[in-house]
Structures are given as structure tokens and as C-alpha cells.
Amino acid sequence: MNKVLIIGAGGVGNVVVRKCAQVPEVFGQIMLASRTKSKCDAIANAIPEAKIQTAQVDADNVPELVALINDFKPNMVINVALPYQDLTIMDACLETGVHYLDTANYEPIDVAKFEYSWQWAYQERFKEKGLMALLGCGFDPGQSQIYVAHAAKHHFDEIHYLDIIDCNAGDHGKAFATNFNPEINIREITQNGRYWENGEWVEIPPMSIHKPIDYPNVGPKESYVLYHEELESLVKNFPTLKRARFWMTFGPSYINHLMVLQNIGMTSIKPIKVKGIEISPLEFLKAVLPEPGSLGENYTGETSIGCQIKGIKDGKDRTYFVWNNCKHQDAYTDCKAQGVSYTTGVPAMLGAKLMLEGVWMKPGVFNTEEMDPDPFMAQIGKYGLPWQEEIDLVLPHEY
Ligand code: NDP
């Protein structure tokens, strides 16, 4: 019987626990561990039909993690704490001989910079130990790359242009809140944008390229070019890409709030001293904003995330669009969660399932597009995120 240790009792952690509990034939025993044990207990107590064990752990501390893993003896760890903890959890997995999966790439706490180099550097060590680490298996990163792998396998000989388009057309009723960890979210949006074009990265000021994109069942929404981590692995694994961009929607009210916060210095990650305590303004801001896991109940609307691709098939131009729409209220009904936590946690569970079943299991460190997309695409709908595709349509982007 497989045992899984889930680390991080936030919005995504709640979904991963609930989805794993829905598949007891694969996840025979589940432990949820996080910095604040009461949050693990609250999640476990809300799922009385499953016996979820809980524990306190500081995931920045490798010996603490090793002791917990040695005690519970899981087959794998699903890391849905923060990107800052990726390397310590990978170290603990190597030391204890346990497989690893996460949903966001490593970021050092003192530099808002995210890239895969740190985690890719673990390749040989995981391989030597016969262990697997699957990186970024949420929606984007995660399902977005599996969409590209599916397109490349079934619909193209070569892919040339990729636009990942991510829309949250939802309303949580709060003046300002982020849909995943506020610190990570704001660090992502306030840094320079970046996209891949003709073999190099093009860097742009934050939020400086934007336009309305028409999302299925939602309509046109202003969308902004951001740097997103899956672009790094996609251009490496699909070297025929001439351009790869990532677009995300933000409403005017969100942007106004963000601009004010930025202008007054509240998004800075540089620690300041207040009454003798060192804290960064962004850490303080996170403490006053609503927790992502608390937004679900009255959230209306839906998310729409997909990949628009142009390339060549049988010597002819081909266009392709694959996407999922997820209603926040459906996420709440299934998992007492909002759609962003849900669309992250469901692929994480399915990735872990495919690893534990041996379908995706191979030693080394991998991004999701390096896996066979077929078993994932065949099952993800059943677990809550059905996809649709359209071939040879007119794409709105200039090529
Ligand atoms: P939350 O802030 O809701 O949850 C994070 C949890 O991690 C909290 O419970 C927090 O504990 C815990 N944690 C933080 N530091 C530590 C530590 N040192 N030791 C143990 N536990 C710790 O964030 P989300 O659930 O929204 O996001 C979780 C992850 O998912 C993030 O890495 C995020 O980037 C990623 N994500 C990925 C997406 C994708 O599509 N790929 C989309 C959305 C999110 P405490 O409660 O005590 O603060």
C-alpha cells in the first residue's frame, strides 16, 4: 500500500489531500504536514471519511524533514508548501530514498528570481538513487506543458509558436486578494516580463505588453505578458519553438491595488526593522491579505487556461488550441476550494498517481512535458479538469 506525505496545508494542500483521499486504491495512507499543525488538523477533520494523519514540520529544516519521513516512511512527498522549500525537501527525499513532486520551481527567499537551474542540478543525484522528481505538476506549470506535449505528439510535426493563456474570470468579492500565496504571486507579477523569441529571451518592463484575449465561455479579457517558469523548460524540450509567451489576465481593480502597493513600497522583499523586528513589507502584506484557501465559498465565475499553438503538420501550417475551463463553484463543491487552488491540486494528485502506479516512474528530475501525455490526458477529466481542443482554427495572435 502506498503512503504519501503532503507538505503544505494551504489552499493547494487542501485540494491535494482531498483528491488523494478520493483515490484510496493508490494513496493508501496520507499524511499532511506543515508549519502550522492546526491548519493540517482543520483540513483532516473536514474529511472524516478518510484517515489523514497530520504533523508539524519546518520544511526549511532538512534534519526535521528527514526525521518525519523516516518516521512515516512514505513512498513519495508532494510538496505544496512554498517554492523556498523545494531544495530542502528534495535534499530530504534524497537522504531518505523517497520520490518527489512539486508545483512551483525553487526561488531563493531573498531574490525574486525563479529558474530551474537549481532543481535541474539534482538530476544525477536522483538518477543514481533510482528516485524520481517531477517538477511543476500543477496547472501552469504542469498541465500547460502536458498540453504542449499532447499537441506535439498528436497534432504537429514541429511546433513553432506557443501562447499559454491564463484567465481567471472569477469574483471572490474581496477588494484585493491573490488566488495563490500572495508573496509568491506578487513577486511573480512585479518582476520584469520575459518571453522567448528567435532563440533568445526578450525582457520587458513588468506588465508592459498587454491586449484583450478572447477566452472560451468568458469573452475578451485584458491579458498581460509575464515570465512564467514553464517557458524555460518548454523551449529546452521543444527547440523548434520560434516564440513562446505566457499571458495572464488581471482586472483594473487588481492592477490599481497592486500599483498603489508597489508605489508605497509594500511589495518590496527587502527586510525593514519595525519595533526591533526584521520583516519584509511583502511578508507583512501577506499577513493582512486573505489566505488563498479562504476564498472558495462565495467565489463566482470560472478559470480558463489553455495553449494556442501554431506549427507544421504534413508540410502544411496548422493551428491548435487546447484548454480547460473550471468553475470556482464546482471546485468548491468537490474540494471546498477556489478554482486556482483546485486547478493546481488536481494535476498534482494525478501526477503523483501516475508516478506511484509506475506509469510515469523513471529515475531523474523531469518537467511534465517529458512524460507521456496520453495517460494524463485520458484521466484528468475524470478527476475534475476536462479539456477541449480545436484544430485548424483562426488564432487571434499575430504570427
Ligand atoms: P498557501 O500560502 O495557501 O499555502 C502554503 C502553505 O505552505 C501554508 O500552509 C504554509 O504554512 C506552508 N509553509 C510555508 N512555509 C513552510 C515551511 N517552512 N515549512 C512547512 N510548511 C510551510 O499557498 P498555496 O496553497 O496557494 O500555494 C502552494 C504552492 O502551490 C506554492 O508553491 C504556489 O507557488 C504553488 N502554485 C502552483 C500553481 C501551478 O499552477 N503550478 C498555481 C498556484 C499555486 P503556514 O500556514 O504556517 O503559513
pLDDT per position in the chain (399 positions), as tens?
Answer: 899 999 999 999 999 999 999 999 999 999 999 999 999 999 999 999 899 999 999 999 999 999 999 999 999 999 999 999 999 999 999 999 999 999 999 999 887 778 999 999 999 999 999 999 999 999 999 999 999 999 999 999 999 999 999 999 999 999 999 988 888 888 888 889 999 999 999 999 999 999 999 999 999 999 999 999 999 999 999 999 999 999 999 988 998 998 899 899 999 999 999 999 999 999 999 999 998 888 989 999 999 999 999 999 999 999 999 999 999 999 999 999 999 999 999 999 999 999 999 999 999 999 999 999 999 999 999 999 999 999 999 887 766
Same domain (yes/no): 156, 131: no
Asked whether 347 lines ligand 1 (CB < 6 A), one says: no
Domain boundary among the residues 76, 111, 135 is at 135
All three cell numbers of 32, joined, read 499532511
Same domain (yes/no): 255, 278: yes
116 Cα–ligand 1 center, Å: 18
Same domain (yes/no): 210, 83: no
For residue 293, what pLDDT is reported? Answer: 83
Asked whether 85 lines ligand 1 (CB < 6 A), one says: yes
Domain boundary among the residues 135, 169, 199 is at 135
Same domain (yes/no): 106, 196: no
Which atom of ligand 1 lies at the shortest distance from residue 292's CA? Answer: 3
Asked whether 12 lines ligand 1 (CB < 6 A), one says: yes
- The amino acid occupying position 87 is L
All three cell numbers of 29, joined, read 495512507
10 Cα–ligand 1 center, Å: 5
For 3-71, give the DSSP string. Answer: EEEEE--SHHHHHHHHHHHT-TTT--EEEEEESSHHHHHHHHHT-TTS-EEEEE--TT-HHHHHHHHHH
Asked whether 138 lines ligand 1 (CB < 6 A), one says: yes
Q: Which domain holds residue 225?
A: 143-333+384-391
**105 and 368 Cβ atoms separated by less than 8 Å:** no
Same domain (yes/no): 241, 273: yes
Name the closest-CA residue to atom 46, ligand 1. 36
**35 and 371 Cβ atoms separated by less than 8 Å:** no
Asked whether 35 lines ligand 1 (CB < 6 A), one says: yes
Is residue 173, in this structure, part of any structural domain at all? yes
For residue 280, what pLDDT is reported? Answer: 94
Domain boundary among the residues 95, 117, 135 is at 135
Same domain (yes/no): 125, 224: no
Q: What is the CATH number of the domain that holds 35?
A: 3.40.50.720
**236 and 135 Cβ atoms separated by less than 8 Å:** no
Same domain (yes/no): 236, 150: yes
Asked whether 80 lines ligand 1 (CB < 6 A), one says: yes
**How many domains, the chain?**
2
Name the closest-CA residue to atom 34, ligand 1. 104
Is residue 338, in this structure, part of any structural domain at all? no
Find the DSSP H helices in 167-250. Answer: 182-190, 230-237
Same domain (yes/no): 158, 131: no
Same domain (yes/no): 99, 193: no
Same domain (yes/no): 61, 159: no
Same domain (yes/no): 188, 91: no
- pLDDT one-digit tens code per residue, 273-299: 999 999 999 999 999 999 888 898 999
For residue 285, what pLDDT is reported? Answer: 94
Asked whether 76 lines ligand 1 (CB < 6 A), one says: no
Is residue 399, in this structure, part of any structural domain at all? no
DSSP 3-state of 171: strand
Asked whether 41 lines ligand 1 (CB < 6 A), one says: no
Q: What is the spatial distance between Cα 394 and Cα 392, in angstroms, rounded to a whole number?
A: 7
Q: What is the CATH number of the domain that holds 248?
A: 3.30.360.10
